[in-house]
Structures are given as structure tokens and as C-alpha cells.
Structure 1
Amino acid sequence: MGGFTLDDIKAARKPRDSWWTVFLVDPLACRLALLVANRTSITPNGLTRVSILLGFASAGCFAAGHLVAGAVLFYLSFTVDCMDGKVARLKGTGTPFGLWLDYVGDRVRVLCCAFGFAYGQGASVYWIAATAVVLLDLFRYINAPQINRVREATKLLVAARAGGEVVFVEDVLRHTPQSRVGHLVATHDQPLVDLHRGWRKTFPWYDRFRIFLVRRRVRTHVVGGIEFHAAVFVVAPPFGAWAMVWAAGVAGALLLLFEFALIYRVWLAAREAGRTVAERERVLV
């Protein structure tokens, strides 16, 4: 039904993704997506619905105490979830409703699996762990878009008040992600505004770390929602119920650490924006 190649599928991947997806899911998801794209008429939304059904099956296994089966089904559910976006980008068949369905499906999967696990184990400590997993998942996926809104609002504020055309380092890096910031600032044709200068001063190793990950298609947010889900619902279950509780605690702490790092970075950017505006206003005067 189609003449797509594996290279076409790889080209449809996100430019950067979680390390769990890049190394442990995409090798399978890309090949399955190629099969679906070439030999079936399944739509991206159809794949999302399959992912949700597999998520319900995973929750059912956790509720029945079959932790290993639940882990396998959760992994398969996430794998199919990674296929829908690739097929949508490959065929140009993505829809706004598909974005909503994908987002809500992920939240429902986590909620059902967490409380399915608690129901299967019964003790109060498992219900507490399940509640913590759901709340941390919601925090991550509420915080992320708000951070993006603050980031964009900060850039708009600088552009509006600084006068003249403003070029931001992070926008240039989006197109040339393997560039070093110092080299960009020194060689770029237009003056660049680096709102993350304070962050780079605090963590001088960050730029090298970022480039190291970019070359491997891995995002710098090393522990996010995907890694958190994988730790709790895929890696830990074969080791037993208590391993899932420990995974929720350790992975949850790392998730919060990286979320607070994002918040700190945005706060530093807001301070840098104020200094940038003040400097440019002095120059204009």
C-alpha cells in the first residue's frame, strides 16, 4: 500500500526525544511503523486507540497481580504510542484531535495502571504510591506547557522592549543544535541575546553535555515523564511490588529534580531578560 523505507520512518522521528525512547523503543517502533505504513490503512488515531487498549490490558494485569505481564503490555502500549506520531508525520495525516487523544490517552494509561497496581496489591502503602505516581505525572505534564508559555512570553517581552530586531541564541540553536554557544555569539551575523547566560555560568559544562546528547538525538531533560513511567511500570514490575514502590520514589525524586531545574532555568532567563532590556534601553537612549 506504500513504498516507504526505514530511512523514511527514521526521518519522521522527533529531532530529539527521551533516551528511553531513542535507545529502547524506537528500534522496534520504527520497524513496526514501517510495516503499518506500507501494509495497512490504520490511521494514527487508530494506533492511539490500540495503544490505549493495550494500556487498559496492562492495568488489568497489574490489578490481577500479574506484574510481568503488565510490564510487557505497558511497554507494548508505549511502543504503539510512539508509532502514531511517526506515521502521522510520514503520511501527513496528523490531526489536532489526534494530539488531544494521544495526550489524554497517556494520562489515562498511567492513572489506570497505577491504581490497577494498587488494587492488585491491596495494602495502603501501594495506594499511596499509586496516588504519588498519578500526581507526579500530572505535575510533569502541567508544568511543561506552562514552562514553555513563560519562556515564549519572556522572549516576546524582550523583543517588544529592547527595540530593533532581536535574535535569541535558543532560536538559532533550534536550527543548528550541535553548535557551541560561544562560537555562535562570536560568529553570528546579528547580535544574539542569550537568555540562558546565567544558566550557562552556573553550569559551565552544560553546553558540552547538551551537544553530547544532541548528537545521539537525546533531549537534555534526562528524567521526564517517559523515563518515570518506564521505571515504575516496565523496569520495576519483574522485581516485585515493592520494587515498583521504590521505583516510584527514586524516579519520582529525579523527575522533580529535573522539573525544578527547568523552573530555575526559566527564573534565571527572566532575570537575564530584565538585564538585557535595561542594557538595550541605555544604548537606545
Structure 2
Amino acid sequence: MGGFTLNDILATRKPRDSWWTVFMVDPLACRLALLAANHTSVTPNGLTRLSMLVGFASAAAFAEGMLVAGAALFYLSFTVDCMDGKIARLKGTGTPFGLWLDYVGDRVRVVCCAFGWGFGEYSRSGDPEFVLAAVGVVVLDLFRYINGPQLKRVKDATRALVEARLDGQCVLAESVLRARPRSELGQAAGEAVAGDGATVVDLQKAFHARFPWYDRFRVFLVRRRVRTHVMSGIEFHAAVFVVGPLLGARALVPVSVVAGGLLLLFEMSLVYRVWLAARQVPSTAAEREKIMI
């Protein structure tokens, strides 16, 4: 039905993604997406619905105590979920409603699977820790997806305030620095704004002064298509619904606690970084000099 190649599919991948997706899911998802694109007329929304159905099957397996089957089905559900965006970008068949469906489908899958093994193991063992762990997983998942958009709003507001304070005659360093090390920032910024007289502003100066190793780590990951938030919601789900169940019922609560703690740690690191950037907004001429390149 189509003449797409694997390279066509690979070109639809996100520029940066979670390490779990990049290394553990995309190698399979890309090849399945190639088969779907060339031999079926399936739509991105159709793949999202299929992902939800497989997710419900995973929750049912967890509830029945079939933890390995539940883990395998959850992995398959997420793999199919990774295919819909690739098909949408490849064929240009994505829809605004598909964004909502994909987001809600992810949240429903997490809730069903968490309570699947939580109440399933409680019914077999009588241990309330399983239920408490399941509730914790759902709460942390919701917190992650509420916190992300709010942090973006703060970052956008900070950028807008800086531009207003500098009368719009500025370029943010993050706009000109992508895969290059921070040591090349001055050169990269100069190339980006040559001739327009704009001031280059670095809102991350304070953060990088405290954590000078971070830039080397960032460049290492970006060059491998991995985003720097190494414990995002995706890795959290993988730990709770794939790794934990594969290790057995006794590992469900400890793995959930450790994964939840790491998720909170990385979320707080994002909050800290945004807070430092917000403090860099200049209000005086002297303060303006501190954030200029």
C-alpha cells in the first residue's frame, strides 16, 4: 500500500526522547510502524485505541496475578503508542483530537494498570501496601503531568519578562545552543546574532555555575537523541509496570517506591532549575550585565 522505507520511519522520530523509548522501544516500534505504513490503512487514532485496548488487557493480567503477561502487554501497549506519532508525521494524518486521545489514553492506562496489580495483589495477599503503592503511582503520574505544563508556563513567562526588560533587544542563549557544548556558547551566539545588535542572555548561568558537569552530560545525551530528564514519566511507567512485575510480586512495592522517589527527585531538580532562571530576570542595569554573554 506504500513504498516507505525504514529511513523514512526513522526520520519521523522525535529529535530527543526518553532513554527508555530511544533504546528499549523505538527499535521495535519503528519496524512495526514500517509494516503498518506499507501494508495497512490504520490511522494514528486507530493505533491509539489499539494501545488502550492492549493496556486494558495488561491491567486485567495484573489483576489476575499474571505479572509477566501484564508486563509484556504493557510494553506492547506502549510500543503501539509510540507508533501513532510516527505514522501521523509520516503520512500527515495526525489530528488535534488525536493529541487529546493520546494524552488521555496514557493516563487511563496508568490508572487501570496500577489498580490492576494493586488490588489484585491485595486480594491475594491481604497486604494493604499494594493498594497504597498503586495510589501513590497514580498520584505521582498525575503530578508529573501537571507539573510539566506549569513549569513551561513559568519558563515562558520568564523569557517574556526578560525580553520586556531588555526592550526586546535580546536573544536567549538556549535558542542558539542545542547540541554544542556550553564552552562554545559565545561563538554560537555570535554566529546567531551577527549583524542584528541583539544582546545574548543566558538564564542558566547560575545553574551551570553550580553544576559545571551538567553541560558535558547534556551534550553526551543529546548526541544520542536522549533528553536530559532521565527519570521522566515514561521511565517511571517502565519501572512500575515492566521491571517490577518481571521481578515478581514482592518487588512491586519496592520498585514503585524507588522509581517514585527518583521521579520526584528529577521533578524537583526541574523546579530548582526554573527557579534559578526566574531569579536571573534583570531589574537594574547592573543585573543586566550578569546574564549577558
**TM-superposed deviation, 1:241:** 1.5
Which segments of structure 1 move beyond 3 Å, counting only runs of 4 or more? 274-282
| Counterpart residue type for residue 19 of structure 1 | W
Pairs within 5 Å for 1:241-260? 241-260=249-268
Rounded to whole Å, the distance in 1 between the matches of 2:75 and 2:289 is 53
**TM-superposed deviation, 1:187:** 4.7
Rounded to whole Å, the distance in 2 between the matches of 1:145 and 1:158 is 20
Rounded to whole Å, the distance in 1 between the matches of 2:79 and 2:172 is 35
Deviates more, 1:191-200 or 1:65-74: 191-200
Deviates more, 1:81-90 or 1:178-187: 178-187
**TM-superposed deviation, 1:185:** 2.0
Identity score, percent: 68
Match of 2:280, SS state, is helix
Pairs within 5 Å for 1:1-285? 1-122=1-122, 123-173=127-177, 177-189=178-190, 190=193, 191-274=199-282, 279-280=287-288
Would the alpha carbon gap of residues 5 and 276 (structure 1) be closer, same or farther in structure 2, given more than 3 Å must change?
A: farther
Residues 2 and 38 in structure 1, CA contact (< 8 A), matched pair in contact too: yes
Rounded to whole Å, the distance in 2 between the matches of 1:109 and 1:80 is 13
Rounded to whole Å, the distance in 2 between the matches of 1:164 and 1:80 is 44
Rounded to whole Å, the distance in 2 between the matches of 1:224 and 1:217 is 15
Rounded to whole Å, the distance in 2 between the matches of 1:125 and 1:221 is 29
| Counterpart residue type for residue 279 of structure 2 | R
Residue segments in structure 1 that go unaligned for 5+ positions in a row? none
Residue segments in structure 2 that go unaligned for 5+ positions in a row? 194-198
Would the alpha carbon gap of residues 200 and 280 (structure 1) be closer, same or farther in structure 2, given more than 3 Å must change?
A: closer
Would the alpha carbon gap of residues 236 and 277 (structure 1) be closer, same or farther in structure 2, given more than 3 Å must change?
A: farther
**TM-superposed deviation, 1:248:** 0.5
**TM-superposed deviation, 1:182:** 3.0
**Residue correspondences, number:** 279
Rounded to whole Å, the distance in 2 between the matches of 1:274 and 1:109 is 44
Residues 228 and 255 in structure 1, CA contact (< 8 A), matched pair in contact too: yes
Match of 2:282, SS state, is helix
Would the alpha carbon gap of residues 203 and 59 (structure 1) be closer, same or farther in structure 2, given more than 3 Å must change?
A: same
Match of 2:231, SS state, is coil
Match of 1:167, SS state, is strand
> C-alpha deviations, 1:227-278, integer Å up to 9, x for none?
0000010011122112111111001000000000000000000011236876
Residues 282 and 288 in structure 2, CA contact (< 8 A), matched pair in contact too: no
Rounded to whole Å, the distance in 2 between the matches of 1:94 and 1:149 is 25
**TM-superposed deviation, 1:161:** 1.6
The alignment's TM-score, normalised by the length of structure 1, stands at 0.94
CA-atom RMSD, angstroms?
A: 1.6
